[in-house]
Structure 1
Amino acid sequence: MKEIKIVGGQFMMGDSYNEGVPIDHEFPPQLVKVQNFIIHDTPVTNESFSKFIEETDYKTDAEKYGWSSVFYQLIPEEKRFSYPSMPESPWWLAVEGARWNQPEGIGSSIYDRLDHPVVHVSRNDALAYCAWAKMRLPTEAEWEFAARAGTVGRFPWGEELEKDGEFMANTWQGQFPMVNTQEDGFVGTAPVYSFKPNQFGLYQMIGNVWEWCSNPYQASLTVFNEQTSEQIWNNHQKESDEFFAIRGGSFLCHFSYCNRYRVAARNGTSATSTSSNMGFRCVKSIDKN
């Protein structure tokens, strides 16, 4: 992972196309000011998270629970009926032993996925990593400003998910949740330097894995002008089970089911939530010089 300096400024935050889910409060767009900050060019990788664990002996929430949510197609077909499914989303299985270094449960490994984003991390786990790395989570305003990289379209590269027939992100192709044609080459996570970066040199700001943010879910857009990023972080860096913002969508996003891979798209979940498509990236504030 590399640190990228982002020169702040003003931008229209929110959904200009009225395509968002009403409860996510993406509309109407609002002019939001962002200060200078540094952001990692990729989500935190398995390799980096391994170093954190080695130095701190930290135990993740998924390890404490003894299970985590795994998308069913990541589990061998003959084993899928061994795990209970989620009532409202049966494509999610509660897999015993699933955690950051055993992404599909007991017997799985990250040995050949060190350059993939770490998954099965709760927001609480991300807070612990940030404290170790001396960084923090981005606000939604910082995240969207970085993802847009000076653009105004649905995606960092334009209006369409594909550009000139080329896949630009790791998302779902086919009929969700039954058929994934894997035309982009991946059924689960992809290495963090897959696909092209945006104009700021940031990789996979949409697709691949959801990324935790520092502010609560459904925060008013006015908050990002009324409070600095540091104030928001300081107000919300304690362990919690409250709902917090997540951004960017994941390898499971598809326009027919979850179009939250748009740069304006907002979403949230419990800070204790863990799954095979949940990760994070870090930022830190810098002065104006």
Structure 2
Amino acid sequence: MTARHDMALVPGGTLLQGSTEFYPEEQPVREVAVGPVRVMRHAVTNAQFRRFVKHSGHVTVAEKAPDAAELPDADPADLVPGSLVFTPTSGPVPLNEWQRWWRWQPGADWRHPEGPGSSLDGRDKHPVVHVAHEDALAYAAWAGMRLPDEAEWEWAARGGLAGATYAWGDEFMPKGRVMANTWHGDFPWRNDIPKKHGLTTPVGSYAPNGYGLFDMTGNVWEWTRSPWSASHAEHHAPEPSGRPGLPMASCCAPVAPATPAVEGTRFVTKGGSHLCAPSYCHRYRPAARQGQEVHSTTGHIGFRCVVDA
């Protein structure tokens, strides 16, 4: 392994994947056999990703201008390096108009989470963001690991609690305790729990689940190697190489748009993020899933890696 990581052994078993109580894409519930796997205890951090970039010279998708030849109808102003950045609104807005709180920010990338002028000062232990699927694959290969598939991720997130709504049980805030970095307040304008640095929190800020894994709920969505399907009935096997191979599938309630003018193959992301709120995106649950375009980068998507046990 190129880099050392803190891993937890997650035993194998039979997962009842999905849920019938929330969103259509989580249905139908199906049985899936999952083998034992070692899972990073937390998402890849900025410090870890910085070491990867230093040793490999990797340039992320957000740091490269989109290819004009592949996007002949794109606005030339969009064909510059950049990423999608969340901006709170000044008051209530219709929740089906994501353009109100997402903006295309030239110069935003993993080093500059809010765009030019922002930095990673004080965020070494925060999860890296503004990483595309291929960036996550590159890190995993460098580290001698791989991305989890959707079933492995969900099984690990449940922490041994079969059928529980959340990674810690069925109550969102047991005895009033905040269990994860999600949106508390009126989305997308009022968050009642302010953060010290940006909107993410340092990994390990909240209690781990039953397998000793942190932030399997909230903080950042996490990439998997499973191609997106609109339901479990249309399940597709994970790509062995992680390369895109399926046409785009539509999402029922997109959490974030694709990079302007860029659309294509989607892969499953899991876990929800700091932007998930009951009124908008009740996806801070192990069963929840979202399809994300592979070249899209945002300030609320990261990843963690696994190793076969």
TM-score (norm: length of structure 2): 0.81
The Cα shift of 1:238 comes to: 5.7
Over 3 Å counting, the alpha-carbon distance change for 1:235 and 1:131 in structure 2 is closer
Asked if 1:177 is matched to 2:188, the reply is yes
Asked if 1:234 is matched to 2:257, the reply is no
Asked if 1:145 is matched to 2:155, the reply is yes
C-alpha distance in structure 2 between counterparts of 1:156 and 1:185, whole Å: 25
C-alpha distance in structure 2 between counterparts of 1:69 and 1:223, whole Å: 29
Contact 1:170 1:184 in 2 (8 A): no
Over 3 Å counting, the alpha-carbon distance change for 1:37 and 1:222 in structure 2 is farther
Over 3 Å counting, the alpha-carbon distance change for 1:42 and 1:271 in structure 2 is same
Contact 2:123 2:197 in 1 (8 A): no
* Equivalent AA in structure 1 for residue 141 of structure 2: A
C-alpha distance in structure 1 between counterparts of 2:187 and 2:145, whole Å: 36
C-alpha distance in structure 1 between counterparts of 2:128 and 2:37, whole Å: 23
Q: What residue number does 1:42 align with?
A: 42
SS in 1 for 2:99: coil
* Equivalent AA in structure 1 for residue 224 of structure 2: C
Q: What residue number does 2:17 align with?
A: 13
The Cα shift of 1:47 comes to: 0.4
Tell me which moved more, 125-134 or 214-223: 214-223
Q: What residue number does 2:57 align with?
A: 57
Contact 2:195 2:201 in 1 (8 A): no
* Equivalent AA in structure 1 for residue 287 of structure 2: A
The Cα shift of 1:111 comes to: 2.4
SS in 1 for 2:108: coil
Contact 1:124 1:239 in 2 (8 A): no
- Structure 1: state its 5+ residue gaps: 78-85
Contact 1:68 1:120 in 2 (8 A): yes
| Aligned positions of 1:228-267 closer than 5 A | 232-237=238-243, 241-267=264-290
| Aligned positions of 1:121-132 closer than 5 A | 121-132=131-142
Q: What residue number does 1:208 align with?
A: 219
Contact 1:63 1:99 in 2 (8 A): yes
Over 3 Å counting, the alpha-carbon distance change for 1:239 and 1:71 in structure 2 is farther
Over 3 Å counting, the alpha-carbon distance change for 1:212 and 1:93 in structure 2 is same
Contact 1:172 1:180 in 2 (8 A): yes
C-alpha distance in structure 1 between counterparts of 2:132 and 2:7, whole Å: 23
Alignment length, in residue pairs? 267
Over 3 Å counting, the alpha-carbon distance change for 1:12 and 1:186 in structure 2 is farther
Contact 2:245 2:265 in 1 (8 A): no
Q: What residue number does 1:81 align with?
A: none
The Cα shift of 1:185 comes to: 7.2
* Equivalent AA in structure 2 for residue 15 of structure 1: S
C-alpha distance in structure 2 between counterparts of 1:187 and 1:109, whole Å: 10
Q: What residue number does 2:178 align with?
A: 167
Q: What residue number does 1:67 align with?
A: 82
Over 3 Å counting, the alpha-carbon distance change for 1:220 and 1:255 in structure 2 is closer
TM-score (norm: length of structure 1): 0.86
C-alpha distance in structure 2 between counterparts of 1:265 and 1:87, whole Å: 21
The Cα shift of 1:107 comes to: 1.3
